[in-house]
Structure 1
């Protein structure tokens, strides 16, 4: 196992796309006047299209794409209005973008439109299905920060089916698991409360690649402190929003440009050290076939201090909509009862973000009467469990193709 290179194990090799696939790029206007775009690849004769979208990542070259094309399915890959950018990611706007793509695919005449949601894309798809399945008048009207969203005036076609591949519990619930509560000063990425440091030998940590075993007392204090840190950031976000609203109200009364500047001036939450899930180094916790390490590499004791991670930079609005487990609407477990279309729940047995207990809860919560649950060996991003073994992406593609065939 390579543990010295940061990011090791995060990416998998891509299969070449088959020939004779027609590729077109589409631009759509959303119901709130934004622009979304998608890439459509169509093998000859394809009448079913599989959609991939993630709220915060570009999935144009997702590893599943060539397998789906090889099996004769059209593939639609779409971004939100905030691709690769957490700064102002509002999940309520992301499903407005999601809707624009589904409307376009229906206009193009496909017989079946099936969502493939991978990782955070699974929660996005569940959130979309939950809202699309409601009468227009019962849909959300605002983000958690109070920004209006036109879901009630948005055409939101339900997909004909959903594949939830390696679904994690949602960005906010996931961040609550991985945030480092030992940060003593939010302005200092190196500040540490030693009593909560997950990578301190005094708290049970053993240097990589040897697995750590934490005791119950430390874990209980750690989880409590994680929740407390998220709550503190919530409070700061709410404080900033209140100040902005007050300045905007003052501007409407006085017309003073200085008040307007105060209302619109961006203040950005910087959240250091969000790669500190105890399960990534203590493999006895929620055991599965995962290797040592996190989503971001084989050395979470190092990557926790690096640039890559969840929720690093976010406006107060984006924090409340996406990253706070306390306020986000995009939570897989809460959205799952609203998913009524035929669904495939697909576990990767070496997942570093979604564990067997999660899959069991999701299985119970999903509202569909037509649910298939399956598992394949692989890591969260579709890598192989051992060198030379088939990738999780390849094995998942076989299960997905079989499920699509039986759903036809």
Structure 2
């Protein structure tokens, strides 16, 4: 496709140069349930405060904030979950076991302060961890939404000393609930459409980009209700698959028949079509902000929605219920936020295409910390600048983060 700009071009920024005196070491950790996760600890001489970056699905080893934090005198811990770069089977409750392994490792390194920094989906991951770590062990979640036992009550979960949230969205499930296309008429057919719900039909208010669309309140009300209905239908399918697997496990316990064992192990892989259809990405009058036209995935949601890229596109029933269902997932920022009690900094970016102003207000209002600071900086979700020649959102956010850290913790 020579001469055609790639639909997702420009989403990510490269990290800058790390200080010459920084040292990075790689570490392999074991979790409470026996999984192996890996992390990188970068330090500078004299660093006694460590800032932790994680995301439930992505590798943040080279996050652009790492060199900026090192230059400010903080150590930085970047860690994988067991589902890094492959979220097919991502169960958020298991990801908390991964976070806990990292926190235990850092406590053993004798840092004076451990501060979590959750960017994007890392925000809800860390809010979920703060919530569960702050509960008495017996009150922690013991079963994931799909019924899988998770040993959070038996896991040592050190509480971090601070929390930073950078452009957090409301959670993978809430995010998908807002951008899933409810006009899919047949879950087996990615091109099937219910015309009255089609967000990319001019009859419903869509305008050919780059013009902004204009949806009526009546259409939006039907659209949002239909999104919930579609997620509920997919939830029911996921639970049906898990129930059948459970029946086969129970039958195997009695029969010891290999056929039952195979049935209990056979994976159900769910394809979820068209998940880039939040009306706010193409109707800029909805919850207005400094965001550009388009979604996190690129400038043409009307095309990307039909492609391979998108949230929760291929998943297992367990992962759907734990991570991608806005109706079933526990990894919900607003649900978790009241138990985030450590000193907290919330950094909103004004051009965010994942967390819109109303989302950010709801998340900030829900946070339970007495020491709570909320700031906004000009920038895009992944840290790019809004305008040519401007400082990047990452640079502006780093200045706020470093200033906040320096007032509360020791920096080298």
Alignment TM class, shorter chain as reference:
over 0.9
Q: Which residue of structure 2 aligns with residue 73 of structure 1?
A: 74
Aligned residue runs from structure 1 range 359-398, under 5 A: 359-398=360-399
Once residues 3 and 300 of structure 1 are traced to their aligned partners in structure 2, the CA distance between those partners, rounded to angstroms, is 16
Q: Which residue of structure 2 aligns with residue 195 of structure 1?
A: 196
Once residues 11 and 249 of structure 1 are traced to their aligned partners in structure 2, the CA distance between those partners, rounded to angstroms, is 47
Q: Which residue of structure 2 aligns with residue 236 of structure 1?
A: 237
Q: Which residue of structure 2 aligns with residue 151 of structure 1?
A: 152
Displacement of 1:9 in angstroms is 3.4
Displacement of 1:348 in angstroms is 0.2
Q: Which residue of structure 1 aligns with residue 287 of structure 2?
A: 286
Displacement of 1:14 in angstroms is 2.6
Displacement of 1:153 in angstroms is 1.1
Q: Which residue of structure 2 aligns with residue 111 of structure 1?
A: 112
Unaligned residue ranges in structure 2 (runs of 5+)? none
Displacement of 1:5 in angstroms is 2.9
**Equivalent pair of 1:4/1:299 in contact (CA under 8 Å):** no
**Equivalent pair of 1:9/1:298 in contact (CA under 8 Å):** no
Matched, 1:320 2:321: yes
Displacement of 1:28 in angstroms is 0.7
Once residues 229 and 4 of structure 1 are traced to their aligned partners in structure 2, the CA distance between those partners, rounded to angstroms, is 32
Once residues 60 and 404 of structure 1 are traced to their aligned partners in structure 2, the CA distance between those partners, rounded to angstroms, is 21
Once residues 268 and 357 of structure 2 are traced to their aligned partners in structure 1, the CA distance between those partners, rounded to angstroms, is 39
Q: For 1:374, what is the secondary structure of its paired residue?
A: strand
Once residues 215 and 5 of structure 1 are traced to their aligned partners in structure 2, the CA distance between those partners, rounded to angstroms, is 31
Once residues 177 and 267 of structure 2 are traced to their aligned partners in structure 1, the CA distance between those partners, rounded to angstroms, is 25
Matched, 1:209 2:186: no
Aligned residue runs from structure 1 range 210-359, under 5 A: 210-359=211-360
Unaligned residue ranges in structure 1 (runs of 5+)? none
Q: For 2:164, what is the secondary structure of its paired residue?
A: strand
Displacement of 1:3 in angstroms is 9.4
Per-residue deviation, residues 54-84 of structure 1 (Å, max 9, x unmatched): 0011111111111111111111000100101
Matched, 1:51 2:52: yes
Once residues 319 and 17 of structure 1 are traced to their aligned partners in structure 2, the CA distance between those partners, rounded to angstroms, is 38
TM-score, normalised via structure 1 length: 0.98
Aligned length: 407
Once residues 207 and 388 of structure 1 are traced to their aligned partners in structure 2, the CA distance between those partners, rounded to angstroms, is 29
- CA RMSD across the alignment: 1.2
TM-score, normalised via structure 2 length: 0.97
**Equivalent pair of 1:119/1:167 in contact (CA under 8 Å):** yes
Displacement of 1:21 in angstroms is 0.9
- Bigger shift: 302-311 or 232-241? 302-311
Q: For 2:284, what is the secondary structure of its paired residue?
A: coil
Once residues 39 and 59 of structure 2 are traced to their aligned partners in structure 1, the CA distance between those partners, rounded to angstroms, is 10
